[in-house]
Amino acid sequence: MHRLARALKCGRATPRERPRTHDGSKRLRHTDVSARPTAELKIPVPYGHLAAKEWLPVPQEDPERRMICLHGHQDNAGSFDFLLPKLDARWHAVALDYTGHGLSSHLPKGCAYTANHFVTDMVRTVRFLGWERFCLVGHSMGGALAQLYANLFPDQVKKVVMIDSLAPTCRPPSMVLKTFRTTMLESMRIEDKDPLSQPSYTEEQLVQLYTKTSSWGYLPDDAKTMLKRGSVSIGDGRFVLTKDPRLRAISWTKIDRAEVLEYIKAYKNDLLVLNALPGIGVCSVWHQKVLDMCQENCRKFEYLQLEGNHHIHMNQADLVAKHVGRFLEDIQ
């Protein structure tokens, strides 16, 4: 696959002590197939923990090379298992499982999942790590949340990379009430179901569930990687999904387009937007307004269209790593 020819360009934290898990034990460390050292983190929250996969820097910590990776809706930290080994090993990366995703705790019954809650997950993660400055790399929902976080805390974020993502989804005012009613009732319906009625699958059925029912382009290898954190064995060759089923009825923050254009003014550092074609699809007029605003406000802004599906960072990791690595390595 080749890059489509479109590009727009404009334009210390001290090393921390190795954090421990919430029960006081040291993080579990192992080495993955790429020989890059990784570890599993447990970040304490009032309802349990946030899980994260940490990619440790080689040969040593460099405060200028720190990044937090943010996955898409109903995905998990495994979303970055293909991309991160292809970036410079000096980068210290933490890929987060948002609440209700992957290996992270679910919200208690009666609590609703919102975009604002996921931003709170990010705040807790940053405080746990003790990082003062870092880069954000987000895919899909994670890209939109990276952009939101960067505008809330612009002094913390050096660079933002958004993969097949650009600003929050804005629904017409006429749809707000209907959407709110639908998601609220669906969340309550799921919550009232017997947890023991959760369906189980064979490994082959799970892979098919991801590849056949998703309209956003999981390939079989993508699905198998996501399922390492996204499923758990219950014996007899069967598995259940780890994500909270209530995520299907998430209550998205309702903001209009004027508000989006206003809030993205706060972040003025470097921004790279990689959009896949056909990818998730965008509204061309609205898309261009957001791009124009980013170009006007960011110190350095790049926009690239890459031929591929929504999960291009997984199934074309070499292509994405080439652009992300170049952008991140331009350290100023």
Q: Any idea which residues carry the catalytic annotation?
A: 140
3-state SS, residue 245: helix
Give the strand pairing for 48-55 and 28-31.
Answer: unpaired
Biggest distance spanned by C-alpha atoms of the chain: 58
3-state SS, residue 142: helix
Distance set, CA 46 to CA 19, 22, 40, 42, 245 (Å): 18, 11, 19, 13, 20
State how far the Cα of 279 lies from the Cα of 268, in Å rounded to an integer: 27
Distance set, CA 244 to CA 75, 104, 241, 329 (Å): 11, 10, 8, 36
State how far the Cα of 5 lies from the Cα of 27, in Å rounded to an integer: 44
Unique residue bearing structure tokens 């080495």:
31
3-state SS, residue 267: coil
In the DSSP assignment, the letter for residue 207 is: H
